[in-house]
Amino acid sequence: MIDEDLLRNCKTLYGGEPLQRSLIYERGKCFIECALNATGTLVNGVLDQAKILNVIVTATQNDPPVMQLFQGSTLQCIQSVTSIVPEQHATTGCNKLGVDFVGCVNIRNFLNCPPHIWSNSAQCNSLKQYLQQCPHPF
């Protein structure tokens, strides 16, 4: 849903090369924060709900069930991630708000995928079953 040109700088800064396991989460936080900042959906560490919903409408206007799912997931996840006590910010590193929000939305969208786009494969069904049995932090 995000234009590749907007992500190019973020990919250069925070992705591309193989990462050691200890760096994956930190780099992921920074990449997502960079991407949300680039789209204007995260401003000064705050998720811009109206802007996020506008991005969703623009990207999914030809598929109302997907639009409705993404909007619902977004509203639920914004409420969930912003109700968590904020992390103590170190002098370096990136805020986890963006990666928590995107992770929440991705899980909710996957678990509630509309039938017309669901891939009824063994891999997708297995992952869905696994996720349904896991506790969700959001």
Distance of alpha carbon 124 from its chain centroid, rounded?
19
- Dihedral pair phi/psi, residue 9, rounded to 5°: -65, -40
For residue 73, pLDDT over 90 is answered with yes
Q: How many domains does the chain have?
A: 1
Q: Which CATH number goes with the domain that contains 76?
A: 1.10.238.270
pLDDT band at 16 (very low <50, low <70, confident <90, very high): low
Gap between the Cα atoms of 68 and 73, Å rounded: 9
Mean pLDDT of the region 25-37: 86
Indicate the Cα dihedral angle 73, 75, 77, 81, nearest 10°: 170
What is residue 2's predicted lDDT score, i.e. its pLDDT?
Answer: 76
Q: What is the CA angle 54-87-136, rounded to 5?
A: 65
Q: What is the pLDDT of residues 108-135, one digit of tens each?
A: 999 999 999 999 999 999 999 999 998 8
Gap between the Cα atoms of 55 and 43, Å rounded: 15
116, part of any domain:
yes
Gap between the Cα atoms of 85 and 38, Å rounded: 25
138, part of any domain:
no
Structure tokens at 52: 């996020």
Specify which residues 43 forms β-bridges with: 46
For residue 23, pLDDT over 90 is answered with no
Burial class (CB in 10 A: 0-12, 13-18, 19+), 77: buried
What is residue 17's predicted lDDT score, i.e. its pLDDT?
Answer: 58
Gap between the Cα atoms of 59 and 53, Å rounded: 10
90, part of any domain:
yes
**Which domain covers residue 41, as residue numbers?**
4-133
The angle that helices 64-83 and 97-111 make with each other, rounded to 10 degrees, is: 140
What is residue 4's predicted lDDT score, i.e. its pLDDT?
Answer: 79
Q: What is the pLDDT of residues 76-112, one digit of tens each?
A: 999 999 987 665 544 457 888 998 999 999 999 999 9
Share of the chain above pLDDT 70, in %: 85
